[in-house]
Structure 1
């Protein structure tokens, strides 16, 4: 098992579970920073390693009119400021090869969205930066298929790879999580992340936007940690009803701490078997 270092944070092996969390999309500097501060305060109280996430552009939206975020230039500037303000690593999605170089100047982790995980040029170019690359497994892929994605990044001379499970398409407008996918992907030799909030998404379930089943986030989170994941990816908001993207599947900030206490207790047991 390769352990991936992100600044002072070690992901993988028998290291404690890492939290990757923030709002779905940048909703302006002040509110995005405030959410990050709230999450960091919780992580600090619990002694949990924390990485901030937010998207500068949500390119994959149900509707043409859906909010996408501030875009590459303004979004990266905001993420750079948040990185400096919070003193934590940051991750965001990239969608095309032209975004790779400017994103790599700011981000600690380059994230490949699930629907783009087979895009060879994007994955390879991300690998060439030498940055940590987190690839979300497509909703259409078997877990062992991720070995081909890994090989594309390794061809670029990069071994700093994270693999994320975010559910598998099950009929129309529905996702399920096969918990077997977590140890299967981990057997490929790289740390595995569980995306606890996108896994309860109902893609396109609200017609012009996705819906979600937030009430199942704690159940799936506890199950994934018991299965032995190395990190948790969660989209968190102070008021998901006001969120400009993915509100129905985001976790309330004031519910995060109690859930993470459960996570740490389960992780203490699970790490003995990793």
Structure 2
């Protein structure tokens, strides 16, 4: 399974459901993603969280079981010959997840956790660090350096917005070239950037109607990759239902984004 080359003419895409809810749903989403991205010649990495550790409420869905979900991710990768990624939350999870996926994602809230970054680096996998909602883009130099100092030069950085007020996020697109100047590929998370956390209901809100706006701006600025969570029926998804892009809208959006990429190239 070949990982995307960030220096290629097109952006690459990290996409999939927020959480692995079962094999049938994962394979169904992956099949559609593969069909669309092959048509548009977009390198694809399939994403799915095997466990949701950061939940607003204790009764929120957290997963179907670590080994079961990771095995589904492996099956998706092998069946479609795709690289895969998932997020990890504790040091001991790094080696475990690395047995199943090709890229380890560090959640934004954990981007400063030195031992977690070192553990991810030690696996030899690509480490994709999401920028904390509380950090400036230039501050990601230190998170990146922790992985490099651990002997792994495969580091990606992901922009996902910064905290704005109490229940919203905002993307400062100046951060993309700022982080690219550090020497790592930069990805724009088009769905989590539109979260509205800390709602009174205890369920995170979102503004999915703005996904296209965020994505178009990111491609115009020259981002290396895009991250999107998608589901064939977001309203019924067990995690991040308010933020995911409906799967049937993906091809139309990506078609527009490829045109923008070609124009700026």
Task: Please report the TM-score for the alignment, with normalisation by the length of structure 2.
Answer: 0.97
Q: Contact between 1:72 and 1:99, CA under 8 Å: does it hold in 2?
A: no
Q: Contact between 1:196 and 1:234, CA under 8 Å: does it hold in 2?
A: yes
Distance, in Å, in 2 between the alignment partners of 1:16 and 1:102 is 32
Determine the structure 1 residue equivalent to 2:138.
144
Deviation at 1:14, TM superposition (A): 4.5
Match of 2:203 among 205, 209, 231: 209
Q: Contact between 1:11 and 1:230, CA under 8 Å: does it hold in 2?
A: no
Give the SS at the match of 1:193: strand
Deviation at 1:174, TM superposition (A): 0.4
Determine the structure 2 residue equivalent to 1:135.
129
1:53-92 paired onto structure 2 within 5 Å: 53-92=47-86
Gaps of 5+ in 2: none
Distance, in Å, in 2 between the alignment partners of 1:264 and 1:145 is 30
Moved over 6 A (4+): none
Give the SS at the match of 1:248: coil
Give the SS at the match of 2:35: helix
Give the SS at the match of 2:172: coil
Match of 1:98 among 89, 92, 103: 92
Change (3 A) 1:146 1:158: same
Q: Contact between 2:127 and 2:154, CA under 8 Å: does it hold in 1?
A: yes
Distance, in Å, in 1 between the alignment partners of 2:100 and 2:9 is 26
Determine the structure 2 residue equivalent to 1:269.
263
Match of 2:180 among 182, 186, 202: 186
Q: Contact between 1:109 and 1:132, CA under 8 Å: does it hold in 2?
A: yes
Determine the structure 1 residue equivalent to 2:245.
251
Higher RCO structure (Cα 8 Å, ≥6 apart) = 1
Deviation at 1:236, TM superposition (A): 0.4
Q: Contact between 2:97 and 2:104, CA under 8 Å: does it hold in 1?
A: yes
User: CA RMSD, aligned part only?
Assistant: 1.1
Give the SS at the match of 1:11: coil
Deviation at 1:161, TM superposition (A): 0.6
Gaps of 5+ in 1: 1-6
Give deviations 1:227-271, integer Å, cap 9, x for gaps.
11011000000010101111111001110001101111111233x
Give the SS at the match of 1:133: strand
Distance, in Å, in 2 between the alignment partners of 1:206 and 1:260 is 34
Deviation at 1:47, TM superposition (A): 1.6
Q: How many residues align?
A: 265
Task: Please report the TM-score for the alignment, with normalisation by the length of structure 1.
Answer: 0.94
Q: Contact between 2:4 and 2:44, CA under 8 Å: does it hold in 1?
A: no
Match of 2:224 among 226, 230, 245: 230
Match of 2:34 among 16, 36, 40: 40
